[in-house]
Chains A and B, each alone.
Chain A
Amino acid sequence: MTQFTARTAQHFLAIKAARELKKEIEQAGMENLKLLAENNVSIVGTYLNGCSPKRKAEIKRDLTALLAMGVTSDMILEEVARQMPDLAPIMAGREAYKKSELQNLEGFLKQA
């Protein structure tokens, strides 16, 4: 029972995080993201480097809290892909790119 509740909470949290991420992606434009992915430019790294330190701290706090509650980056990306079907063709066949993006995100969370 408890595990079910925890999984439900993780699911809702992943949905909420993916919704916030979707807003950001939609502002950037799908074409731009596709162009960056085709040029092997890290979307995560570009986004985080463009954020202000305050915004970086907020993102790190939220992601750390999600990770502490068991919501991993994979779960968020899966939820983003589910909510944005247009993104699926971009990511298709780019496992190495996806893996490097996840590593960038983990590296960001591990930064002091």
Chain B
Amino acid sequence: MASQTEVLKALHEKDGPIKSPDLARGLKTSDDTIRALISKLKKKALVDGDAKEGWYITDAGIKILEAGESIPTTITDVGEDELSKFKYYGQLAGAKPDDIAAASELFQNSDMRIMAEVERVLAETNVPITSRTRWINLYRGYLRNTTPPEIRDELYPLPPTPEARRVPAGEGATGIEEVTRGERLDYIVEGNEVHRVGDSLGEFNFKQALQVVAAKRGSAPKAEADGSLTGTLNAFAEALKSTSPSQPLTVQDVLNIINTMKENSGEGSAPGYVDEDGDWHELKPGQPVILKRSAQSPSTGKTLVIKQTPEGIVTEEHQAGSPIIINANPPPANTAMPATAMPPMMPFPVIGSDGTPVVDRDGHPVYANIEPMLKWLGFQSEQRRADERHQMLMGLGQTVRENLGDGVQALVAAAKEAQGQKKTGASAQETPTTPQIFECGDCKTRFTIPQEDFVQVKCPNPKCGRTWTREEVMKV
């Protein structure tokens, strides 16, 4: 659909006047549309001419195009019918072109002179509340101006002023009923959001809408018996009553809401206490709270004593007050403990550099297991002794080898022995032999052996009388 600007551009591109059918073909639109647009442009003195000679652009039109401006829609561009006025007031209200087009489509299928239908259409198209209110008010004024004065207020009554809304019933003399935002069905719920769709055009009042949203979110506040809300939500709803539904919230309104909520919350924060079961009890004014310190019952925990016995580790329950006897005796030899195993280690406390026992994080003394260290020291001592013994044996062997005679020395010794025997034999013939004296091993009695060969000799002591063989005597 061509616009006034496009028609103006088309005329500016041509040197001479152009007739409406040629413009329609160039802009690919109908002749009626071109004629309507040309008529609007002519009223604004942007084009001039006639249907016979053709149309041409004026100097004012050229200026607008050169300035890059778009041609504004004025009241003169709007038709006198309701739909044209509806669209025009939408533009004046600041609604988006898409919302205007959608509302216009719905508006054509309704009774366009009933205000309820107007509000319904605008609510269904989700026109923002600010532009919607302004749109409704403008259209209401148009309807009132086109209605006879006798029935004007009856058909299209003016909405109450904000001041009149705040006047409670009974106090005002104007007769305007009290209307608050929270009591009329002005709201609908979409998703989890509350939208105000107009006076009595919604499905819920403000409280109910909040309840619906809370129920959808799974955090519905508990309603009291009369249906009113409780807690912070109720305080918020009550605080909103003091504000005007048709005016945006000001800083003062926000402060009033906060103060109202504080006052309301102060009522619910009565003093109380929580008992042992976690239940909360409210305290009345002046009611004392008595704290009782119950006597601590003796510990029912059991003390276990772990003993190392030949049968293994035995755990026994220790009676309170009875002594704990530590049996430090070594286990009997017939236990399964290996022979090389060390006896069980006694606790060996760790002493710090300052001479005080070392304790852990819980304050218990720290004991060290030095058994591996003792085993290592024992192993080192054993190794050292083995090395010394080996060195000693090696030295002894070396000494034996050094002192052990070889074959030559054996020959020399044998020769000396033979030579000695030879000399002894010669001297024996010259000097009488001295008998060799022996001593009895039992009675210590001295005796001699016979010169001739003998098989055995008897101890001369009559009390002993032991018989010694030749081999036994010769061994001595």
Tell whether, in the assembled complex, residue B404 and residue A35 are in contact, meaning their CB atoms are under 8 Å apart: no
Residue B419 at the chain A interface, CB threshold 8 Å: yes
B81 at interface by CB-CB < 8 Å: no
| Complex interface: chain A residues within 8 A of B404 (CB) | 52
Which residue on chain A has the smallest CB distance to residue B414? A46
- Interface pairs A-B: 9 shortest CB-CB: A50-B410, A32-B415, A47-B407, A28-B411, A39-B418, A51-B407, A27-B408, A50-B407, A46-B414
Asked whether, in the complex, the Cβ of B401 is within 8 Å of the Cβ of A52, the reply is yes
Other contacts beyond A36-B418, A55-B407: 15, CB < 8 A: A28-B411, A28-B412, A32-B411, A32-B415, A35-B415, A35-B418, A35-B419, A39-B418, A46-B411, A47-B408, A49-B410, A50-B411, A51-B406, A52-B401, A55-B406
In the assembled complex, which residues on chain B have CB atoms less than 8 Å from the CB atom of A43? 411
Contact B415 A36 (CB under 8 A): yes
B409 interface hit (Cβ, 8 Å): yes
Contacts of B410 in A (CB 8 A): 46-47, 49-51
- CB-nearest residue of chain B to A29: B412
CB distance from A37 to the nearest CB of B (A): 10
* Least distance between A30 CB and chain B CB atoms (Å): 10
B398 to chain A, nearest CB (A): 13
B406: which A residues are within 8 A, CB to CB? 50-52, 55
Query: Is B218 part of the binding interface, using a Cβ–Cβ cutoff of 8 Å?
Result: no
Q: In chain B, what residue has the closest Cβ to A43?
A: B411
Closest CB in chain B relative to A54 CB, distance in Å:
8
* B372 adjacent to chain A (CB < 8 Å): no
> Within 8 Å of chain B (Cβ to Cβ): is A41?
yes
Q: How far is the CA of A33 from the CA of B418 in the complex (A)?
A: 11
22 A–B contact pairs at CB < 8 A?
A24-B408, A28-B408, A28-B411, A29-B415, A32-B411, A32-B415, A33-B411, A35-B418, A35-B422, A36-B411, A36-B415, A39-B418, A39-B422, A41-B418, A46-B407, A46-B410, A46-B414, A47-B407, A47-B411, A49-B407, A50-B411, A52-B401
The smallest beta-carbon distance between A12 and chain B, in angstroms, is 24
A48 adjacent to chain B (CB < 8 Å): yes
Chain A residues lying within 8 Å of B412, measured Cβ to Cβ, are: 28-29, 32
- For chain B, residues 388 to 418, give those with C-beta under 8 angstroms from any C-beta of chain A: 401, 404-416, 418
* Chain A residues, Cβ within 8 Å of B411: 28, 32-33, 36, 43, 46-47, 50
Which one of B401, B406, B409 has the highest number of Cβ atoms from chain A below 10 Å of its Cβ? B406
Bound together, the chains give a CA A39 to CA B425 distance in angstroms of 13
| CB nearest to B401 among chain A residues | A52
Across-interface contacts of A106 in B (CB, < 8 A): none
- How many angstroms between the C-alpha atoms of A35 and B418 in the bound complex? 7
Q: Roughly how many angstroms separate A41 CA and B410 CA in the complex, as a whole number?
A: 12
Chain A 9-33 interface 0/1 with B at a Cβ cutoff of 8 Å (1 = within)? 0000000000000001001110111
Docked Cα-Cα span, A98 to B24, in Å, equals 161
Question: In the complex, what distance in Å separates the CA atom of A49 from the CA atom of B408?
Answer: 10
A32 CA to B407 CA in the complex, in Å?
Answer: 13
CA distance A47 to B411 in the complex (A): 6
A50 to B404, CA, bound (A): 9
What 0/1 pattern do residues 200 to 224 of B give for CB contact below 8 A with A?
0000000000000000000000000
Residue in B closest to A54 when the chains form the complex, CB atoms: B401
Give chain A nearest CB distance to B100 CB in angstroms.
Answer: 129
A37 to B124, CA, bound (A): 152
The proximity string for B residues 133-170 relative to A, scoring 1 for CB distances below 8 Å and 0 otherwise, is 00000000000000000000000000000000000000
> What is the 8 Å Cβ interface bit string for chain A, positions 48-68, against chain B (1 contact, 0 not)?
111110010000000000000
The answer for the CA separation of A41 and B419 in the assembled complex, in Å, is 12
**CB of A100, distance to nearest CB on chain B (Å):** 16
Give the docked Cα–Cα distance between A31 and B406 (Å): 18
The residue in chain A whose Cβ has the minimal distance to the Cβ of B415 is A32
Chain A nearest Cβ from B454, distance in angstroms: 26
Question: Whole-angstrom distance between the alpha carbons of A5 and B42 in the complex?
Answer: 153
Contacts of A48 in B (CB 8 A): 407
Task: Point out the residues of chain B lying under 8 angstroms from A36, CB to CB.
Answer: 411, 414-415, 418
Chain A residues contacting B418 (CB-CB under 8 Å) are 35-36, 39, 41
Q: How far is the CB of A55 from chain B (nearest CB, A)?
A: 6
Bound together, the chains give a CA A52 to CA B408 distance in angstroms of 11
> A47 — nearest CB in chain B belongs to which residue?
B407
The CA-CA distance from A50 to B411 in the complex, in Å, is 8
Note all chain B residues with C-beta closer than 8 A to A55.
406-407
A20 to chain B, nearest CB (A): 12
Q: In whole angstroms, what is the CA distance A6 to B401 when docked? A: 39
Closest residue to B404 on the A side, CB-wise?
A52
Chain B residue at minimal CB-CB distance from A42:
B414
The complex places the Cα of A51 from the Cα of B404 at a distance, in Å, of 8
**CA A86 to CA B18, docked complex, whole Å:** 169
**CA A27 – CA B408 in complex, angstroms?**
7
Would you call B407 and A33 a contact (CB within 8 A)? no
Q: Chain B residues near A29: list those with CB within 8 A.
A: 412, 415
